[in-house]
């Protein structure tokens, strides 16, 4: 199970419900109150494909924060990190729910409207009827559109609003009682500029290659699974603070295909040039051209699972490939594990199971957890 000790320390009332560690149920605590929830993870433990089931009370409290939680699911590396984020968001939601019942002073409305007028109404994307939530829009120097959501408490401007952005890094504002929304907006613009190179790199990848996952990446997403060829892909993790450095690379595909790619990457690492784009560096190091979405269809290299005959299963794509060059059939990890588990001739060592490929009968292994 993934970080069970750390999870118990953070959420002692949230317990695993199965041996695989893919289902958790219990309570999350905030402001001395316990809220029931259930978390279901896919077999590959990808948080972005997790399902969260809440009690009606918790669902009501978090209603206005669903987009934020979705972003956190995409950006958090593990369940423990997400639970820390969830508790933080829940604390904010509870505080703001209480604030809704605190009457705003005339000074609150005067300061807010004044600040919005100084900022300019053309920068305002949304204001709720209670004047407690404001969404501001901005365009970075490359023309990309961005939003920042501000939730104001009754003590504004003495206390700063809570800010939510679709960033791959934490956005913390600097605030003093004499500050206004224009100060937050300027800090927002500065943060956009600091992430320009990261988004430039990701946009080039999204525009010039076939990205298999995520299908609709958010601005906070730092990973891309890029198609290389027939049932061969590379998953990259880009550092948003240093996007011109070599990203973490994990190859997916049959061993006889991905092993030469790993060797090329290791042998050519010294050729990485921070002065050229991340995508061009990857091409040079791997000595390949990535399939382009301009000339190829996804079906040219993304094949359905040979067991369930579907491409997507609970959000996951086929990431296991038979190593026999004459076969090369792809499978979902969960499908292959279940198939091998059902074979009388299969054998298991810890969480790895060995058995025959359903297509060519070559001995195949699959991990229970990946």
Mean pLDDT by 10 residues, the chain (370 residues): 69 86 89 88 84 86 84 84 89 76 83 94 92 93 95 88 91 91 96 96 94 86 89 90 94 82 94 95 94 68 75 75 77 84 80 80 60
pLDDT at 299: 60
Query: Cα-Cα-Cα-Cα dihedral of 122, 71, 237, 307, to 10°?
Result: -130
The DSSP line for 164-215 is: EE--SS-------TT--HHHHHHHHHHHHHHTHHHHHHHHHHHHHS-EEESS
**pLDDT for res 370:** 44
Q: Any idea which residue has 């550092």 for tokens?
A: 239
pLDDT attached to residue 1: 43
> Is residue 55 within 8 Å of 36, Cβ to Cβ?
yes
What phi-psi label fits residue 253: left (phi over 0), alpha (psi between -120 and 50 degrees) or beta?
A: left
Q: What is the CATH number of domain 106-193?
A: 3.10.110.10
The rounded distance, in Å, linking the Cα atoms of 301 and 311 is 12
CB 138 within 8 A of CB 195: no
Q: Does domain 303-369 correspond to CATH entry 3.30.40.10?
A: yes
- Which of 190, 153, 157 shows the shortest CA–CA distance to 172? 190
Q: What is the pLDDT of residue 294?
A: 66
Q: How many CA atoms lie within 13 Å of 100's alpha carbon, on the beta-carbon side?
A: 11
Q: Domain ranges in the chain?
A: 1-100, 106-193, 209-286, 303-369
d(CA 229, CA 233): 7
CA distances in angstroms from 113 to 108, 117, 132, 354, listed in the order given: 9, 6, 11, 66
Q: How far apart are CA 166 and CA 161, in angstroms?
A: 17
Identify the helix (H) or strand (E) that includes residue 335: helix 333-341
Token pair 């901005």: residue: 138
**Could you give the strand order of the β-sheet that contains 51-54, starting from the edge strand earlier in sequence?**
14-16, 23-30, 33-40, 51-54
CA angle centred on 65, ends 62 and 66, rounded to 5°: 90
Element (H, E) at 150: strand 145-151
Specify the length of the chain in residues.
370
In Å, what is the CA distance from 126 to each residue of 95, 147, 151, 285?
A: 21, 10, 12, 46
Identical fold, 106-193 and 303-369? no
**Confidence at residue 369, expressed as pLDDT on a 0 to 100 scale:** 44
What does the pLDDT read at residue 167?
Answer: 94
pLDDT of residue 363: 64
Task: Kindly report the number of other CB atoms within 10 A of residue 290's CB atom.
Answer: 21
Kindly indicate whether the domain formed by 209-286 is annotated with CATH number 3.10.110.20: yes
pLDDT for position 295: 61
Look at residue 102 in the predicted model and tell me its pLDDT.
67
282 contact partners, CB below 8 Å, separation of at least 6: 234, 236, 290
Query: What confidence score (pLDDT) does residue 263 get?
Result: 95
């Amino acid at each position: 199970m993934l970080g069970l000790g750390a999870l118990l320390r953070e959420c002692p009332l949230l317990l695993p419900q199965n041996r695989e560690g893919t289902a958790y149920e219990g309570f999350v605590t905030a402001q001395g109150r316990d809220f029931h929830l259930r978390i279901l993870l896919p077999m590959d433990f990808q948080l972005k494909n997790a399902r969260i089931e809440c009690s009606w009370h918790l669902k009501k409290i978090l209603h206005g924060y669903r987009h934020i939680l979705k972003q956190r699911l995409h950006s958090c590396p593990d369940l423990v990190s997400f639970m820390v984020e969830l508790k933080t968001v829940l604390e904010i939601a509870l505080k703001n729910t209480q604030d809704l019942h605190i009457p705003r002073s005339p000074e609150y409305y005067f300061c807010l409207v004044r600040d919005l007028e100084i900022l300019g109404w053309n920068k305002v994307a949304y204001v709720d009827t209670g004047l407690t939530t404001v969404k501001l829009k901005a365009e970075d120097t490359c023309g990309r559109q961005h939003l920042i959501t501000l939730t104001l408490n009754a003590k504004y401007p003495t206390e700063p609003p809570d800010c939510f952005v679709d960033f791959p890094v934490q956005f913390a504002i600097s605030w003093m009682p004499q500050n206004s929304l224009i100060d937050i907006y300027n800090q927002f613009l500065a943060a956009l500029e600091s992430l320009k190179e990261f988004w430039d790199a990701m946009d080039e990848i999204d525009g010039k290659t076939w990205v298999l996952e995520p299908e609709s990446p958010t601005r906070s997403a730092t990973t891309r699974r890029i198609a290389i060829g027939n049932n061969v892909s590379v998953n990259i993790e880009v550092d948003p603070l240093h996007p011109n450095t070599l990203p973490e690379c994990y190859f997916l595909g049959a061993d006889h295909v991905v092993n030469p790619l790993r060797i090329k990457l290791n042998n050519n690492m010294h050729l990485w040039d921070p002065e050229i784009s991340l995508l061009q560096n990857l091409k040079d190091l791997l000595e390949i051209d990535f399939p382009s979405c301009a000339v190829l269809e996804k079906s040219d290299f993304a094949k359905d699972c040979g067991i369930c005959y579907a491409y997507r299963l609970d959000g996951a794509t086929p990431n296991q490939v038979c190593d026999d060059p004459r076969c090369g059939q792809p499978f979902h990890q969960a499908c292959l594990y279940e198939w091998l588990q059902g074979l009388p001739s299969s054998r298991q060592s810890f969480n790895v199971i060995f058995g025959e490929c359903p297509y060519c009968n070559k001995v195949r292994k699959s991990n229970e957890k990946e």
